[in-house]
Chains A and B, each alone.
Chain A
Amino acid sequence: GENVEQHPSTLSVQEGDSAVIKCTYSDSASNYFPWYKQELGKGPQLIIDIRSNVGEKKDQRIAVTLNKTAKHFSLHITETQPEDSAVYFCAASRTGTASKLTFGTGTRLQVTL
């Protein structure tokens, strides 16, 4: 089955700096890669996703890049703000699997003033 590895497990940045979280996946047939943000005591919430026919996607301060050859994808957050502090999860799935997601182990991002 699919295996998703995520690094780093914790990340501390100063407000205004950029943050990068990286994930690798094992199943070359995976074609959907979402990123979820989980705030304390809440369920994960989708913040951005990318499909395998696209190399990069941006949404304001958030961007995701995908390298299918190397089987890795990354989340980039620019101009970080205190409200970006949360746990971020990457995930992967492929068509025909009922959208079953395999999650990474999460990155705790702390944005300090």
Chain B
Amino acid sequence: NAGVTQTPKFRILKIGQSMTLQCAQDMNHNYMYWYRQDPGMGLKLIYYSVGAGITDKGEVPNGYNVSRSTTEDFPLRLELAAPSQTSVYFCASSYSANEQFFGPGTRLTVL
């Protein structure tokens, strides 16, 4: 199993541009999550999904959108990128209320 995969690894955006961060898992996990990690801070939950077709906001959802059309994929969309969205983004998945498995992260810089 590849586990949780994320693309791209790095990206630089200009202010106002849009992009989609890709996340996929091959463990047939129902639950998937998007976090952002700022320097010296813990991870903050952006959005999560408990199954295909179901998504909900986390702690810091403003400026982001998600979709969950399949069990495997959970893309995160940034519209009108802002410098405040410069961060490292992690996708995670879990089976029910158990261990969350994290992807390797996407480092995003907005200039």
Contact = CB atoms under 8 A, between A and B. Distances in A.
Interface in A4-24: 4, 6, 9
Interface string B40-80: 11111100101000001011000000000000000000000
B47 to A, nearest CB: 11
22 contacts: A4-B42, A6-B42, A9-B40, A34-B100, A41-B105, A42-B104, A43-B4, A43-B92, A43-B102, A43-B104, A43-B105, A95-B97, A98-B31, A98-B56, A99-B94, A99-B100, A100-B33, A100-B45, A100-B48, A102-B45, A106-B41, A106-B42
Contact of B45 (A34, A101, A105, A106): A101
B40 A46 contact: no
A89 B102 CA distance: 13
A1 B96 CA distance: 21
Interface of A: 1, 4, 6, 9, 32, 34, 36, 41-46, 49, 89, 91, 93, 95, 98-106
Interface residues on B, range: 20 to 34
A105 B42 contact: yes
A45 B102 contact: yes
Contacts of A49: 99
A105 B40 contact: yes
A93 B99 CA distance: 11
Contacts of B45: 100-102
A101 B100 contact: yes
Interface string B73-94: 0000000000000000010101
B37 to A, nearest CB: 9
Contacts of A34: 99-100
B42 A103 contact: yes
Contact of A43 (B31, B58, B99, B103): B103
B110 to A, nearest CB: 20
Contacts of B1: none
A32 B92 CA distance: 17
The 9 closest A-B pairs by CB, nearest first: A43-B102, A103-B42, A99-B97, A103-B43, A105-B42, A46-B99, A44-B102, A98-B50, A43-B104
